[in-house]
Amino acid sequence: NNTYSVTSNANIRKAISLAVDRETLVKSAYQGRANCATSVFNPATPTGKATAIFSKTANTAAAKQAIAQSGYDQSQLKISILTNENTNRVATAQLVKQQLEAVGFEVTVNIQSNESYQAMVSNLSFDIYIGETKIPNDMSLNSFFASGGATSYGISLDNSAAASAYNGYLYNNAEIGNFMLEFSEEMPFVPLVYRQGMICYSKSIQGDIQGSYENYFANIEDWHY
């Protein structure tokens, strides 16, 4: 949340990103079915590889330095992590809690029903929330940086240099490197992982199964038992 509490400080948000061990999240919370978010963009794509700015592993020394630069003292480093009851998200929240505590934060995990979780996110009643969204094939980040975007909660769009730089990049007024620089300085949200999808079907179904996450039932007319 960029709007209030300790997470309104950009250095604190940078410290959170630096303290998170994305590799551990992939291996433990997602059982290896994800990629570390080393970029805002999917790291499996050329854009993601070219704009990698996050480490897969935690950098506790740099995280502590960012905390020192924030001006907050130890007694102020209290953070709550909001999540719904989704198994992967709860596991992620618990791991992030441990990782943040390792650099000096006092952390609680707030697990809510999905209805309550959505209401609290909408009302900005969180320091950090564990969220998930599907990035479209063109890797548009409008859900974060457009007014009313589905994942723009907690981002101060009117005061966001990252949002402004992203719009500049979209309309060819700025390079992607400028956006990445502003993003890394402001850290409006912390990318954690890109999940990998999996399609399961019965062994009794025969044929050349060509389904994808975009169309699960592609060529269904060719399936048979």
Number of neighbours of residue 132 by Cβ within 10 angstroms: 13
What are the percentages of helix, strand and coil residues in the chain, rounded to 5? 40, 10, 45
Q: Which two tokens stand for residue 1?
A: 């949340």
pLDDT of 30 reads: 94
108 Cβ neighbours under 8 A, 6+ residues apart: 79, 80, 81, 97
Q: Tell me which residue has tokens 């390079």.
A: 175
pLDDT of 215 reads: 78
pLDDT of 214 reads: 66
Number of neighbours of residue 108 by Cβ within 10 angstroms: 12
pLDDT string in tens for the chain (225-residue length):
999 899 999 999 999 999 999 999 999 999 999 999 999 999 989 999 999 999 999 999 999 999 999 999 989 999 999 999 999 999 999 999 999 999 999 999 999 999 999 999 999 999 999 999 998 888 999 999 999 999 999 999 999 999 999 999 998 888 999 999 999 999 999 999 999 876 777 888 888 888 776 677 888 888 888
d(CA 224, CA 186): 53
Can you name the residues that pair with 128 across neighbouring β-strands?
81
Query: From residue 189, how far is each of 179, 192, 222, 225 by CA, in Å?
Result: 14, 9, 44, 47
